[in-house]
Structure 1
Amino acid sequence: MLSVDRLRVLHAVAVHGSLSAASQALHVTNSAVSQQLTKLEREVGQPLVERAGRGVRLTDAAELLVEHTARILSMVQRAEAELEAHRDDVVGHLRLSATPTAVRGLMPHALTSLREAHPGLRVEINEEEPHESVPAMARGDADLALVVDWEGAPLELPTGMSRAPLMEDVGDIALPAVHPLAHRELLELDEILTLPWISWSRGSICNDWLYDMIRSRGAEPLIVHTVEEHQTKLTLIAAGIGAAVMPRLGCGPVPEGVRVVPVQPALVRQVYVFWRTESSRRPAIRAAVRALREAASVYTESAPRP
C-alpha cells in the first residue's frame, strides 16, 4: 500500500526541483524528506531519485509515479473538501497567498472577522506578488490566492480555478510636491508618460503593465529605479527622486513633500480571489471569500480619495 504522505513528498521534490526546496515547502527537515523517499522506494521496489551534481534527478519510475500522484492528491483534496462540506464546520488550516497591498488594505478586517466568527479556523498568510501566487496555487502550496491585475493585462490563471471579484482599485500619480504637475487636481495620461518612473521589481506584473501602458501610447518608459515597497517609493519621491503609480489600496500615509494626483483615463486594476474549483464546497473557502468581500466593501466605503 502506497502512503499518500510519502507520495506528497515525492510530488514536492518534482515540483520544487530539489530535496531542500521540497523540505522548505513541506515545512520539514531535509532528513525527513530523504527518509520518506527511502521508505517510498522500498514500497515500490524501485529507485526514485538519483544523484545529479549537487542535487537529485527523478528516475523514470518516479516520473510515472508523480503523474499518478498529481491526480491522487487532487482526489484527496476533493474528498477533504466534501467531508468538510458534509460536516459544515469552518475549521482547519487555510493557506492564503496575497499581494502586499491587499494584505495591508483588506486582511486586517478579514482576519478579525474570521477569527471572531470561526475560532477553529487558522488562516496562514503568505505575502506574494501575483506572479508568485499563481504558481503557488498550481502547485497546491496555497488554498486561496488574493491577487490584482491591471485593466488590459489580466492574469492567466491555471485550469480548474474559480474566482470571485472583490473590488476595483485605482492608481494615482505620486509626484514630488515641487514638480510642476503636482499642483493640478487632475492629470491627463499623456502628460505623465515621460516622467522618470520608480517602478516595481523586474518581472512583476505591475512592472510589465507599466511598460506596456506607456508603450501603447507611443512613448518609451524612463525607469530610474525599481522598488517594491510603496512607502519606500514615497520616501524617494519626497526627496525629489522620480514619480510612481500609487494604487490606493494599501497605500498608507503620504509623507510631506509628496502630492498624489488622479489621472484620466483612470488607471484601474481588479482585485479578486481565486481557488481550486474542486475545493469550492469547503466551508473554510466559502467563509474566507465572504470575509474578503465584506472587507473590500468596508474599504471601498471608507477609503479616502486624493
Structure 2
Amino acid sequence: MLDLERLRALHSVATYGSVSAAADVLHVTTSAVSQQLAKLERETGQKLLERNGRGVRLTDAAELLVAHAERILSLVEQAQADLEAHRGSVVGQLSIAAFPTAVRGLMPAALRRLGAEHPDLRVQLREEDPMQSMPLVSRGDLDLAIAQDWNNEPLPLPEGLRKGVICDDVADVALPSVHPLAHRDAVELKELAGDPWISSSPDSICCDWLLRTLRAIDSEPRIAHMAYEFATQLALVGAGLGNAILPRLGRCDVPPGVAIVPLAEPLTRRVYALWREEAARRPAIRAAVTALRAAAPPDVPVPAMAGTATMAS
C-alpha cells in the first residue's frame, strides 16, 4: 500500500524542482523529505531520484508515480471537500492570497465577518500579485486567490480553476489640482495624451495595463515616476509631477493638491475569487466568497450576476 504522505513528498519535489523547495512548501526539513522518499523507494522497489549536478532529477519510475500521485491527491482533496459539504460546517483552514488593494479594501472586513460567523475556520492571508497567486492555487498551495481583470483586458482563467465575481472596481484619474482639466465633471482619457504619468512598479500588472491602455488611444506613455503604493502615487500627483489612474478600491485618503476626476468612458476592473475545481463544494470557499462580496465598499458595486449561482461557474 502506497503511503499518501510519501506520494505528496515526491509530487512536491516534481512540482518545485528540488528536495529543499519541497521541504519549504511542506513546512518540514529537507531531511524529513529525503526520509519519506527513501521509504517510498523501499516501498516501491524502484529508484526514484538520481543525482543531477548539485540537484536531483526524477527517474522514469518516479515520473510514472508522480502522474498517479497527482490524480490521487486531487481525489483526496475532492473527498475532503465532499465531506465538508455533507457536514455543511465552515471549519478547517483556508489560505487566501490577494493583490495589495484587495488586501486593504476588502480583506479586513471580510476576515472580521468570517471570524464572527465561523469561529472554527482558521484563515491565513498573504499579499500576492495574481500572476504569482494563481499558479499557487492551481498547485494546491493556496485555497483562494483574489485576482482582477479590466474591461479592456480580460483575465485568462487557468485550467482547473473556477471563479466567482466579488465586485466591479471603477477607476478614476488623479490630476494635480492645478491641471487645466482638474475641475471638470469628467474627462476623456485622450485629452490627457502627452501628459506625464505616475505608474506602479515596472514588474506589476498595473504598470503593463496602464501602458497598453494609453497606447490604445494612440498616446505613447510618458512614465515620469513609478511607485508601488497608491498612497505614494497620490503624493507624487499632489506635487504636480504627473497623473495617475487609480481604482476606487485601492484609493486611500486624497492629499491636498489632488483632484479625482471620473473618466467619461469608465475603465472598470472586475475582482474575482479563484479556487480549484476539486474544492468547489467546500463550505469554507462559499463562506469566504460571500464575506468578500459583503465587504465591497459602497462605491465599488457588486454585480447582480455575483449571486450564489456563480460559485458553480
Return the TM-score normalized by structure 2: 0.89
TM superposition shift of 1:214: 1.6
Question: What is the alpha-carbon distance in structure 2 between the residues aligned to residue 54 and residue 239 of structure 1?
Answer: 52
Structure 2: gaps of 5 or more residues: 302-313
Question: What is the alpha-carbon distance in structure 2 between the residues aligned to residue 13 and residue 195 of structure 1?
Answer: 50
TM superposition shift of 1:112: 0.9
**Gap change, CA 1:281 and 1:75, over 3 Å in 2:** same
- Comparing 119-128 with 216-225, greater Cα deviation is found at 216-225
- The CA deviation string for residues 101-150 of structure 1, in whole angstroms up to 9 with x for no partner, is 11111111111111011110001112111111211111111111111111
Matched-pair contact (CA < 8 Å) for 2:249–2:300: no
AA partner of residue 141 (structure 2): D
Matched, 1:73 2:89: no
* Equivalent residue number for residue 52 of structure 2: 52
* Equivalent residue number for residue 3 of structure 2: 3
- Comparing 12-21 with 275-284, greater Cα deviation is found at 12-21
Question: What is the alpha-carbon distance in structure 2 between the residues aligned to residue 46 and residue 13 of structure 1?
Answer: 16
AA partner of residue 61 (structure 1): A
Matched-pair contact (CA < 8 Å) for 1:149–1:205: no
- Comparing 158-167 with 283-292, greater Cα deviation is found at 158-167
Matched-pair contact (CA < 8 Å) for 2:249–2:297: no
* Alignment RMSD: 2.0
Matched-pair contact (CA < 8 Å) for 1:78–1:279: yes
TM superposition shift of 1:55: 2.8
* Equivalent residue number for residue 197 of structure 1: 197
Alignment of 1:19-58 (within 5 A): 19-58=19-58
- Comparing 223-232 with 118-127, greater Cα deviation is found at 223-232
Query: Aligned residues: percent identity?
Result: 57
- The CA deviation string for residues 183-205 of structure 1, in whole angstroms up to 9 with x for no partner, is 33321110123222222233433
TM superposition shift of 1:92: 0.3
Aligned-partner SS, 1:187: coil
Matched-pair contact (CA < 8 Å) for 1:106–1:299: no
* Equivalent residue number for residue 134 of structure 1: 134
AA partner of residue 282 (structure 2): R
Aligned-partner SS, 2:167: strand
* Equivalent residue number for residue 225 of structure 1: 225
* Equivalent residue number for residue 143 of structure 1: 143
Question: What is the alpha-carbon distance in structure 2 between the residues aligned to residue 222 and residue 277 of structure 1?
Answer: 42
**Gap change, CA 1:88 and 1:16, over 3 Å in 2:** same
* Equivalent residue number for residue 281 of structure 1: 281
Question: What is the alpha-carbon distance in structure 1 between the residues aligned to residue 25 and residue 72 of structure 2?
Answer: 19
* Equivalent residue number for residue 244 of structure 1: 244
* Equivalent residue number for residue 304 of structure 1: none
Matched, 1:170 2:170: yes
- The CA deviation string for residues 127-186 of structure 1, in whole angstroms up to 9 with x for no partner, is 111111211111111111111111121111122322211211011112333333333332
TM superposition shift of 1:50: 2.7
Matched-pair contact (CA < 8 Å) for 1:96–1:126: yes
Question: What is the alpha-carbon distance in structure 2 between the residues aligned to residue 159 and residue 256 of structure 1?
Answer: 46
Structure 1: gaps of 5 or more residues: 302-306
Question: What is the alpha-carbon distance in structure 2 between the residues aligned to residue 227 and residue 20 of structure 1?
Answer: 34
Question: What is the alpha-carbon distance in structure 1 between the residues aligned to residue 232 and residue 39 of structure 2?
Answer: 49
Structure 1 residue runs of 4+, over 4 Å off?
none
AA partner of residue 267 (structure 2): L
Question: What is the alpha-carbon distance in structure 2 between the residues aligned to residue 38 and residue 227 of structure 1?
Answer: 48
Return the TM-score normalized by structure 1: 0.91
Matched-pair contact (CA < 8 Å) for 1:131–1:204: no
AA partner of residue 190 (structure 2): D
Matched-pair contact (CA < 8 Å) for 2:13–2:19: yes
Matched-pair contact (CA < 8 Å) for 2:198–2:242: yes
Question: What is the alpha-carbon distance in structure 1 between the residues aligned to residue 99 and residue 90 of structure 2?
Answer: 24
**Gap change, CA 1:171 and 1:298, over 3 Å in 2:** closer
Alignment of 1:205-220 (within 5 A): 205-220=205-220
AA partner of residue 9 (structure 2): V
- Comparing 166-175 with 114-123, greater Cα deviation is found at 166-175
**Gap change, CA 1:50 and 1:241, over 3 Å in 2:** farther
Question: What is the alpha-carbon distance in structure 2 between the residues aligned to residue 21 and residue 230 of structure 1?
Answer: 33
The aligned length equals 301
Aligned-partner SS, 2:126: strand
Matched-pair contact (CA < 8 Å) for 1:91–1:120: yes
- The CA deviation string for residues 193-229 of structure 1, in whole angstroms up to 9 with x for no partner, is 3222222233433222222212222222222333322
**Gap change, CA 1:47 and 1:210, over 3 Å in 2:** same
**Gap change, CA 1:288 and 1:84, over 3 Å in 2:** same
Question: What is the alpha-carbon distance in structure 1 between the residues aligned to residue 191 and residue 244 of structure 2?
Answer: 14
